[in-house]
């Protein structure tokens, strides 16, 4: 699925929401690969940013949460 602003999602859906494993690429070059529940980042995932920063860890209710590594 691709939006007019350039954001792009590839992965599983349930009840018209992102659900299960997927990849979301933002128009600014950021990217999230991991798990979604009801359209929100949930569980394990990896976020990368255009400046090279990298977050690998847990997400809860679409926010970083718990044990993680940020480089």
Condensed to tens digits (0 to 9), the pLDDT of residues 5-24 reads: 999 999 999 999 999 999 99
Domain that holds residue 23: 8-70
The reply to whether 2 falls in a domain is: no
User: Is residue 61 assigned to a domain?
Assistant: yes
pTM (2 d.p.):
0.91
Summarize pLDDT for 16-67 with one digit per residue, the tens.
999 999 999 999 999 999 999 999 999 999 999 999 999 999 999 999 999 9
The number of domains in the chain is 1
Q: Is residue 51 domain-resident?
A: yes
Confirm whether 1 is domain-assigned.
Answer: no
Cβ–Cβ < 8 Å for 21, 35: yes
| Predicted pLDDT at 57 | 97
Residue 21 located in a structural domain? yes
Q: What is the pLDDT of residue 24?
A: 97
Q: What pLDDT is attached to residue 71?
A: 94
For the chain, the C-alpha Rg in angstroms (whole number) is 12
């Amino acid at each position: 699925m691709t939006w007019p602003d350039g954001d792009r999602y590839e992965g599983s859906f349930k009840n018209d929401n992102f659900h299960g494993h997927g990849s979301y690429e933002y128009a600014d070059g950021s990217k999230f690969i991991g798990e979604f529940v009801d359209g929100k980042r949930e569980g394990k995932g990896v976020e990368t940013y255009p400046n090279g920063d990298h977050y690998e860890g847990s997400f809860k209710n679409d926010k970083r949460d718990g044990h993680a590594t940020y480089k």
